[in-house]
Amino acid sequence: MRKHGGAEVFRITGARQGLAEDVRGRERRYVISMAVRTLSVIAAVVLWNVERHVAVVALVLGALLPYVAVVIANAGRERPPSLPSTFVPGPTRPELPAAGDAPAEPRTERAHGQS
């Protein structure tokens, strides 16, 4: 379920999202990751003489984020959502007795006047 302009849009099909929308989402995730990387490298430069431990952590984060960003961006298309089953089971039939089972006592009907 996604929201467009305040209205809820429900997805009722098993089709994947469009290729352009998929690429746009990947680009957005990559740009956000690179922005975080840039901020961490800037923080490492600013904090180098102030708090060296934090600067080293920020520098390591800045070095690892490009790899993570590329892996996330190239993760592949989404899997199509599974649709609910449309199989409706039919009514159950009574089972016939097996060949070796003893059948129920047959009812004999007597004609009128016979004893």
Into how many domains does the chain fold?
1
User: What 3-state DSSP class applies to 44?
Assistant: helix
pLDDT digits (tens, 9 = 90+) for 47-67: 999 999 999 999 999 899 888
Q: How far apart are CA 22 and CA 20, in angstroms?
A: 5
pLDDT the model gives residue 38 = 92
Tell me if 61 is assigned to some domain: yes
pTM of structure: 0.51
Contact 71, 29 (CB under 8 A): no
96: in domain: no
Q: 59 phi and psi, to 5 degrees?
A: -70, -40
The pLDDT of residue 68:
85
List, in sequence order, every residue forming a beta bridge with 9; answer none if it has no partner: 2
In a domain, 34, yes or no: yes
Which of 19-23, 34-38, 96-100, 104-108 shows the lowest mean pLDDT across its residues?
104-108
Residue 63 counted as domain residue: yes
94 assigned to some structural domain: no
Closest CA to 14 of 87, 88, 89, 78: 78
For residue 9, the SS3 value is strand
> Average of pLDDT values for 90-112?
67
- Domain encompassing residue 65: 18-73
* pLDDT score for 111: 56
Mean pLDDT score of the chain, rounded to an integer?
76
Residue 50 lies inside a defined structural domain of this protein: yes
% of the chain at pLDDT higher than 90? 17
